Amino acid sequence: TGSSKKETKAVRRITFDDVAGQEAAKREVGELVDFLKDPERYSRLGAEAPRGVLLMGPPGTGKTLLARALAGEAGVAFYHTSASEFIEMFVGVGASRVRKMFDEAKERAPSIIFIDELDAVGRVRGTGLGGGNDEREQTLNQILSEMDGFSGHEAVIVLAATNRPDVLDPALLRPGRFDRHVTLELPDRKAREAILKVHTRKIPLAEDVDLSLLAASTPGFSGADLKNLVNEAAMAAARADENAIRMGHFDEMRDKVMMGSVRSLAIRP
């Protein structure tokens, strides 16, 4: 998965309709659509461009999806990278990759940069086990200096995702850097039903399927878990050579997913 993720790329147009639930987060991020569509209208009035947005929340709650949807809604270029990859690089490579990505994004502005797993490079500096990791610190410093290097009017918005906001270096959160914070929550029953609806839009469902009931029986499932559940149920139906997913397929796969997560918790050291 690593190599496809680290490439910057244009993606199929995803919109806020693809993001179920997360109404508050959609509203906050949605405020940036108008700016990205017509940044000149803002700069003419001397308004400083919004810069960094930190998306916080547990894994699989749709942080990446929401960033993509913002790019889709505004119709702008999207640059995606995962910070965890930088720390595996040779010293200097991470920083130069960051520089290159910001240069490209500025050239193609208005645009969006998305940095997934920001905490991988963004932990408080100088506290790494065994003395800091040079590559990590250089990469973090480069991100900070790129964010400071904007003139104020470039229409490049930098979104970053983390599920560990508590470990981030406070330097990242200063004004002009990641100063807007948007929280995504695990979905409640209603949101889980909405997510199931999104992911079964193009899937044939048997008449006995009750997504509301399924939502009620999947507490703790993230959006990513629900998407996975739909896919597993579709696979089960296909294996059984049926032409629609029945409630039984969902129930069976939900129990498997739940058992699976219990087991993986049990063997964790």
Interaction site with ligand ATP (CB under 6 A): 19-22, 59-65, 116, 161, 163, 195, 198, 223-224, 227
Nearer to ligand ATP, 141 or 163 (CB): 163
Toward ligand ATP, which CB reaches closer, 99 or 257? 257
**C-alpha distance from residue 260 to each of 4, 146, 252, 255, 266 (Å):** 27, 43, 12, 8, 10
- Encoded tokens for 171: 């330097």
Position closest to ligand ATP via CB: 223
Is 61 annotated to bind a ligand? Reply is: yes
Give me the least distance between CB of 92 and ligand ATP, in Å please: 26
Ligand-binding site membership of 62 (annotated): yes
> Between 141 and 224, whose beta carbon lies closer to ligand ATP?
224
Find out whether 223 is annotated in a ligand binding site.
Answer: no
Determine whether the annotation assigns residue 175 to a binding site.
no
Is 165 known to sit in a ligand binding site? no
Q: Are 156 and 105 in contact (CB under 8 A)?
A: yes
Work out how close the CB of 101 gets to ligand ATP at its nearest, in angstroms, rounded to a whole number.
18
The answer to whether 178 and 7 have CB atoms below 8 angstroms apart is: no
155 versus 180: smaller Cβ distance to ligand ATP = 180
Q: Can you tell me the distance from the alpha carbon of 80 to that of 6, in angstroms, rounded to the nearest whole number?
A: 7
Question: At closest approach, how far in Å is the CB of 186 from ligand ATP?
Answer: 10
Q: Which two tokens stand for residue 196?
A: 């199931």
Return the SS3 of 162.
strand
User: CB of residue 195 vs ligand ATP: minimum separation in angstroms?
Assistant: 4
Q: DSSP states of 49-82 as a string? A: PP-EEEEE-STTSSHHHHHHHHHHHHT-EEEEEE
As beta bridge partners, residue 115 has 81, 160
Residue 62 vs 72, nearer CB to ligand ATP: 62
216 sits in which H/E element: helix 211-216
In whole angstroms, what is the distance from residue 226 CA to residue 230 CA?
6
In the DSSP assignment, the letter for residue 207 is T
Q: Which tokens belong to 223?
A: 């959006």
Give least dist CB 222 to ligand ATP, A: 6
**What phi, psi does 163 have (nearest 5°)?**
-110, 10
Q: Is the Cβ of residue 59 or residue 220 nearer to ligand ATP in the bound state?
A: 59
| Shortest Å distance, C-beta 194 to ligand ATP | 7
219 known member of a binding site: no
User: Binding site: what residues are annotated?
Assistant: 57-64
User: Binding site for ATP: what residues are annotated?
Assistant: 57-64
